Amino acid sequence: MRLCLLQLKNLGENGKNISHAVEMIGKAAAGGADMIVLPEMFCCPYKASKFPVYAQEEGSSNWKKLSEAAKKNNVYLVAGSMPELEIDRSCCEHVEKIYNTSYVFDRKGKQIAKHRKVHLFDVDIKGGQRFKESDSLSSGNQITTFETEFGKIGLMICFDIRFPEMARLMQLDGAKMIIVPAAFNMTSGPKWWDLMFRTRAVDNQLFMAGCSPARDETASYIAWGHTIVTDPWGTVLGELETEEGMLTVDIDFEEVEKVRQQVPLTTSRRTDLYTLKSNLFGQ
């Protein structure tokens, strides 16, 4: 599978960002990509107060344009993440929630998965980053995997990667790769970006792919960049710097089985002593 991760500039306005993403999807597809990945919150400023302003319901304009781009270019599209508006019209009161949501479309533009960020980024690091997503976002409640012609793939968003149980549940469900639209910042990026992706890859013996926005030093939230792909051995197969760009890597899922046969972590687990279970898989 040819995987292409797009490290995109944020152009400030939703319409410009969506149009730019669609243009870059076309370029990646022309280069032979089978699956294309966009960054976290690529369509809007990464600012808690802005998420409600840019939020759209599933099936709205942004969703339709990205679905059409997947179909037109005959690619799988992991559409980064966007603020999703959910309106509950079934009760007496009009209830609205905002989620950090990633949609996945198949080659025909059909939505085959949807992941709402489970772990919200609420941190206050002394001398570093302070951010509270829960000021405007609600958390998701599902572990998300999806099937492709190449194999099963897991999907999480940014801060989700910090929780090893989530990646392990995806591996136990059959995932051969985990894709992570993410926007680590200038505090968390230098400390943990490469470490997190290599660690999850080694622990679970699968491919990891992290897609970041390009760095913008003028933004209130500055993304680290460094879009990355690691193999099941923990080797970095490719990594960008900070500018806008494409990272294209050919993925061979047979490598997953080779690694698991040579270093049999799965069969060596002591399930008589410990287990990890979840019934929260879904789309």
Q: What is the pLDDT of residues 143-195, one digit of tens each?
A: 999 999 999 999 999 999 999 999 999 999 999 999 999 999 999 999 999 99
Q: What would the DSSP string read from start to end of 100-140?
A: EEEEEE-TTS-EEEEEE-SS--EEE-TTS-EEEGGGT-BPP
Q: Which among 4, 9, 84, 117 is annotated as catalytic?
A: 117
Stated as kind and residue range, the H or E segment containing 99 is: strand 95-105
Q: What is the pLDDT of residues 112-148, one digit of tens each?
A: 999 999 999 876 766 666 678 878 899 999 999 999 9
Q: What is the pLDDT of residues 202-234, one digit of tens each?
A: 999 999 999 999 999 999 899 999 999 999 999
Residue 283 has pLDDT above 60, yes or no: no
Q: Which among 40, 133, 176, 211 is annotated as catalytic?
A: 40
- Least confident range of 85-89, 211-215, 241-245: 85-89
158 in catalytic set: yes
Identify the band that residue 91 occupies on the pLDDT scale cut at 50, 70 and 90.
Answer: low
Q: Which among 4, 43, 158, 211 is annotated as catalytic?
A: 158
CA-angle at 110, arms to 150 and 179, nearest 5°: 45
Identify the band that residue 93 occupies on the pLDDT scale cut at 50, 70 and 90.
Answer: low
- pLDDT, position 128: 61
176 in catalytic set: no
Those residues whose C-beta lies under 8 Å from the C-beta of residue 263, and which sit 6 or more positions away, are 205
Residue 282 has pLDDT above 70, yes or no: no
- pLDDT, position 94: 66
Contact criterion met (CB below 8 Å) for 8 and 24: yes
- pLDDT, position 278: 74
Q: What is the pLDDT of residues 23-57, one digit of tens each?
A: 999 999 999 999 999 999 999 998 888 999 999 99
Contact criterion met (CB below 8 Å) for 139 and 117: yes
What is the rounded average pLDDT of the residues 248-267? 96
Residue 83 has pLDDT above 90, yes or no: yes
Identify the band that residue 62 occupies on the pLDDT scale cut at 50, 70 and 90.
Answer: very high
Q: Which of residues 96 and 207 earns the better pLDDT score?
A: 207
pLDDT mean across residues, the chain: 94
Which phi and psi angles does 66 have, rounded to 5°? -75, -40
- pLDDT, position 129: 64
4 in catalytic set: no
- pLDDT, position 134: 79
